[in-house]
């Protein structure tokens, strides 16, 4: 198992790097992100490359030279940030994903691509939401996630690329600062308490948002990727 993580310096990527490193060995986990270097000292033992997922030649070279056979594709512009820069969110979230899927098709890699509850919209049933249901999101992030779900299904059906993914709610952790997601206020509030002794939340008092603890998210991702293909009823989302 030789694994590449894109967006490895983000909230999920940082935690996933440690989780996979302890499971398969640090030497078998290759990290990439758009940042020029790794600031987190806990990641210094990993092999790291600066790479933009929109530049397929760079990513392809890394995958070939490192003998990668599994990709956790986490590079993305998240929901709240995406509303400020919608065209860049589309470029990274969709065009970047297409690059990864094309490379996976050429190199025979398995790919994990996270989706999100952001792929749902106001017309989606709120209670006991079906697996296959109405998805009419009203944010650019949600639109890119629905597109990503369809692209992953397409590459599996047409080319046999081993794509897998789940729809995550907000993920709560302390290992890395928030990265611009809708539920990031749940983590930001603690940073603000330490730095400013106060925090003003942008949500209405009675708003509820689903959240998940990071260790549970990591277990879900890796368990899905390790599962035999014959056991999967739904591959993506």
> What is the structure's pLDDT at 79?
87
Full DSSP string of 15-75: HHHHHHHHHH-GGGEEEEESSSS---GGGTTSEEEE--TT-HHHHHHHHHHHT--EEEE--
Say if CB 148 and CB 101 are below 8 A apart: no
The whole-number pLDDT of residue 183 equals: 73
Among residues 19, 48, 141, 185, which one is catalytic? 141
Specify the pLDDT at position 18: 97
Predicted pLDDT of residue 186: 80
CA–CA gap between residue 170 and residue 186 (Å, rounded): 9
Residue at token pair 């697996």:
131
How far is it, in rounded angstroms, from Cα 217 to Cα 221? 6
- Strands 163-164 and 110-112 come out as parallel
141 is annotated as an active-site residue: yes
pLDDT tens-place values along the chain, 237 residues long = 899 999 999 989 999 999 999 999 999 999 999 999 999 999 999 999 999 999 999 999 999 999 999 999 999 999 888 999 999 999 999 999 999 999 999 999 999 999 999 999 999 999 999 999 999 999 999 999 999 999 999 999 999 999 999 999 988 887 666 666 667 778 888 888 889 998 888 788 888 888 899 999 999 999 999 999 999 999 999
pLDDT of residue 225: 98
How many CA atoms, within 13 angstroms, populate the side-chain half-sphere of residue 12?
30
Query: Minimal CA–CA distance to 13: which of 164, 38, 169?
Result: 38
Q: Which residue, among 224, 220, 221, 222, has the nearest Cα to 235 in the 3D structure?
A: 224
User: What is the per-residue pLDDT for 180?
Assistant: 67
What pLDDT, on the 0 to 100 scale, is given for residue 189? 84
Strand partners, 6: 73
pLDDT of residue 174: 72
pLDDT at position 179: 66
Q: What does the pLDDT read at residue 177?
A: 64
**Please, is 96 exposed, middle or buried when counting C-beta atoms within 10 Å of its C-beta (0-12, 13-18, 19+)?**
buried
- Residue ranges and CATH numbers for the domains of the chain are 3-171+208-231 (3.40.50.720)
Count Cα atoms within 13 angstroms, Cβ side, for 47.
Answer: 14
């Amino acid at each position: 198992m030789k694994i590449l993580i894109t967006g490895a310096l983000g909230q999920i990527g940082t935690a996933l790097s440690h989780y996979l490193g302890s499971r398969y060995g640090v030497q078998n986990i290759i990290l990439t992100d758009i940042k020029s270097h790794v600031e987190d000292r806990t990641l210094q033992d990993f092999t790291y490359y600066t790479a933009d997922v929109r530049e397929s030649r760079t990513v392809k070279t890394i995958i070939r030279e490192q003998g990668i056979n599994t990709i956790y594709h986490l590079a993305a512009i998240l929901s709240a940030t995406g509303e400020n820069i919608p065209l860049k969110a589309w470029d990274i979230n969709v065009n970047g994903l297409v690059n990864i899927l094309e490379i996976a098709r050429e190199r025979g890699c398995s790919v994990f691509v996270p989706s999100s509850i952001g792929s749902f919209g106001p017309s989606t049933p709120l209670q006991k939401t079906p697996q296959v249901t109405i998805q009419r999101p009203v944010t650019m992030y949600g639109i890119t996630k629905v597109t990503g779900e369809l692209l992953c299904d397409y590459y599996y059906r047409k080319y046999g690329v081993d794509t897998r993914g789940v729809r995550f709610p907000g993920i709560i952790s302390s290992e890395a600062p928030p990265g611009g997601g809708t539920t990031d206020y749940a983590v930001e509030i603690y940073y603000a308490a330490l730095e400013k002794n106060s925090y003003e939340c942008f949500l209405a008092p009675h708003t509820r948002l689903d959240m998940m603890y990071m260790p549970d998210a990591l277990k879900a991702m890796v368990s899905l990727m390790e599962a035999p293909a014959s056991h999967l009823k739904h591959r993506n989302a």
